[in-house]
Amino acid sequence: MTAPGRKPPLPADVFGDWERIPVDDQAGSDFTEILRIGTFAADHWTLGPDGPHQRPRPPAAVAGSQIREALLHLLELGLIDIDTGRLHTAAGYPMQRSTRP
């Protein structure tokens, strides 16, 4: 993953290019371990009493709730941190992910 202080600079404007941070997503990497834990949390929600098997909802709502549950779980375990300075400093964030670093 990325060491603190090693993040690329923020773009100067809303539509500026973002330099992507390389992530090792190969089997056995830290990413795959975090993915496994987050996926477990999302699956647990999906199959639990608040999930779509008990309370049907549109696919986009299901996906959003799965991501929310996984992200909350990883944050609560302290496995990921929110860079609040970076979050609030950027003029905007790209929503499309068409290329890989």
Q: Tell me the pLDDT tens digit for each residue of 47-88.
A: 999 899 999 999 999 999 999 999 999 999 999 999 999 889
Is residue 82 in some structural domain?
Answer: yes
Residue 5's pLDDT is what?
A: 62
Q: Is residue 2 in a domain?
A: no
Please give the single-letter amino acid code of residue 70: A
Tracing tokens 């975090």 back to the chain, one arrives at: 34
What domain range includes position 46?
30-89
Alpha carbons 5 and 47: distance in angstroms, whole number: 39
- pLDDT, one tens digit per residue, over 3-52 is 556 888 888 888 888 888 888 999 999 999 999 999 999 999 999 998 99
pLDDT at 101 over 80: no
- What pLDDT is attached to residue 98? 66
Question: Is 85 a domain residue?
Answer: yes
Answer yes or no: is 24 within a domain. Answer: no
Is 57 within a domain? yes
Is position 60 within any domain? yes
Q: What are phi and psi of 59, to 5 degrees?
A: -55, -40
Sign of CA dihedral 27, 30, 32, 33: positive
Residue 39 lies in a domain: yes
The token pair that represents 18 in the structure block:
């973002």
Number of domains in the chain: 1
Is 54 within a domain? Answer: yes
Share of the chain above pLDDT 70, in %: 90
Average pLDDT, the chain: 88
